Structure 1
Amino acid sequence: MTASISHTTFDSLDPYAQSVFWAQVLDFHADPEEPFGPGDDECMIFSPDGSQRLLFIRVPDRKQVKNRLHLDLQPEEAGGRDAELARLLTLGATQVDDQRRPDGTGWVVLADPEGNEFCILRSHAERYATSQQG
C-alpha cells in the first residue's frame, strides 16, 4: 500500500491574495466549479493539467521561522532564471538570498508576499549550456 499527495497546503493570513500570487507565478487556475474570492478561508488552485494542486488556508498567525519545506521552481525555456526572477519580483516576491555563481550555476531564494521562501533554479537550457562548456 502507498499514498499519493492530494495537494500541498500553505497556511495563510490571506488565502485569496496568496492564491492569486501563486496562480500568476505558476500559471495555475481556480476550479470554475468551486470559485473562491476575497475573504474566503480556503482557496485552491490547480495546474493547467489538473495534476498539481495548492491549497491556501486561513490561519491567525504569521510565519515565524524558516520554512522546512519549500518549492524549487524551474523556469520555462524562454528567458531563463534571471528573466523569471525579474518577473516574480514584479508580482510581489522579495529576494531573500542570491546563490548565483559567476559560472552561471546556482539559484536565487525568494519569499512570497507572506514570507514563505522558494527558490528559482536554472532552466533546462541554461543547465545544458553550462554542461557543454566543460
Structure 2
Amino acid sequence: MATRLVQISMQARDNSAVGRFWAEALGWKVTGDKGAETNVEPEGFSYPDAAAVCVDVIGVPEPKTVKNRVHVDLATTSAAHQAELVARLTDLGATPADVGQGDVPWTVLADPEGNEFCVLEPREIYRDTGPMAAVVVDCADPRAMARFWGEAMDWTVHEVSDDRAALRSAAGVGPYLEFLRSSDPKTVWNRVHPDLRPYAGDDQAAEVARLQALGATRVDVGGDMAWTVLADPEGNEFCVLTPL
C-alpha cells in the first residue's frame, strides 16, 4: 500500500476570498466554491495528479493567531519574474511579512488573512515544479520527518540533513515537500496541513493503520467524516482521504 500528497488544506475565515487569491497567485482556477470549501486547481487539471498539489480552502470562524508551521514557496524563473510576481501579489492583497528571515534573497509575504508564503529567487531545483515550488513544514528534526514521511508516502527522499529534508513525487514532477529545522514549538492546530490520498483499490482503514504503525497518532476532531485526521510524530496534523 501507499499514499501520496494531493492537496494542502488551508483554513480561512473567508474561504472564497482566500481561494480567489491563491488561484490568482498560482495562475490556477477556482474549480469549486460551495459553502465552507473552495477548491483551487490548475486549469484543465485531472485530479489527482502528481504534477500539482492542489489547494483546498476551508472556512473556519477562528482567526489566525500565530505564524503558520506549514507554508507554500512559489517558484520564479528570473530576478525580473520574482519582482513582477511580488508586485502582482501585493496588488492582489498580499502584505510583507517578517518571520525573522533577515536579509535573504527571497521575499516573505502573507495572503489577505495573514498566511505566510515565500516568493523564491530563481533556483535550478525548482525549474520544473510549476508555480508551487514546495510545501514547507517547520520541524524540530528533519531527519526524523524524512524517515516518517518517506515511508508514509510513495514519494522519493531527495535530501536529508540536520537542517533540511526534501521529498518529491517519484514521477519527478510537481512541488517538493520540505522540512526545515525550527526551534519554535507547535502551540495550535496547523491552519495549513497536507491531505494524503490512497490509490484507487486500496483500503483507507488499512492505510490509516499502516501510518499509525509508522508513528502517526489519531486526532479526534469530532463528527462523522469520510476522512481520518492523523498527526505525524511531531504533532503536525494531516488528513487521510478516501482512495481515488
TM-score interval, normalised by the smaller of the two chains: 0.7 to 0.9
**Residues 91-129 of structure 1: CA distance to partner in whole angstroms, max 9, x if unpaired?**
10000026684xxx61111000000001111113xxxxx
The question of whether the paired residues in 2 share the 8 Å contact of 1:98 and 1:107 is answered with no
Alignment of 1:1-20 (within 5 A): 3=26, 4-20=131-147
- Other-structure match for 1:110: 230
- Other-structure match for 1:48: 170
Q: Which is greater in Rg?
A: 2
TM-score, structure 2 as length reference: 0.44
Counterpart-to-counterpart distance in 2, 1:2 and 1:80: 35
Aligned residues: 116
Unaligned runs of 5+ residues in structure 1 are: 125-134
Unaligned runs of 5+ residues in structure 2 are: 1-23, 27-130
Counterpart-to-counterpart distance in 1, 2:165 and 2:215: 19
- Report the 3-state secondary structure (helix = DSSP H, G, I; strand = E; otherwise coil) of the residue aligned with 1:71: strand
> Aligned match of 1:85 in 186, 198, 208?
208
Residue type at the aligned position of 2:154: D
More helix by share: 1
The question of whether the paired residues in 1 share the 8 Å contact of 2:146 and 2:160 is answered with no
Give the 4+ runs in structure 1 shifted more than 6 A: none
Query: 1:77, CA displacement in angstroms?
Result: 2.7
Residues 42/60 of structure 1: CA separation in 2 closer, same or farther (3 Å cut): same
> Aligned match of 1:96 in 194, 219, 224?
219
> Aligned match of 1:68 in 191, 212, 217?
191
- Other-structure match for 2:160: 36
TM-score, structure 1 as length reference: 0.77
Q: Considering only aligned residues, what root-mean-square deviation do their CA atoms show, in Å?
A: 2.1
The question of whether the paired residues in 2 share the 8 Å contact of 1:108 and 1:119 is answered with yes
Counterpart-to-counterpart distance in 2, 1:100 and 1:123: 20
- Report the 3-state secondary structure (helix = DSSP H, G, I; strand = E; otherwise coil) of the residue aligned with 2:144: helix
Residues 23/75 of structure 1: CA separation in 2 closer, same or farther (3 Å cut): same
More strand by share: 2
Query: 1:36, CA displacement in angstroms?
Result: 2.6
Residue type at the aligned position of 1:9: V
Residues 30/100 of structure 1: CA separation in 2 closer, same or farther (3 Å cut): same
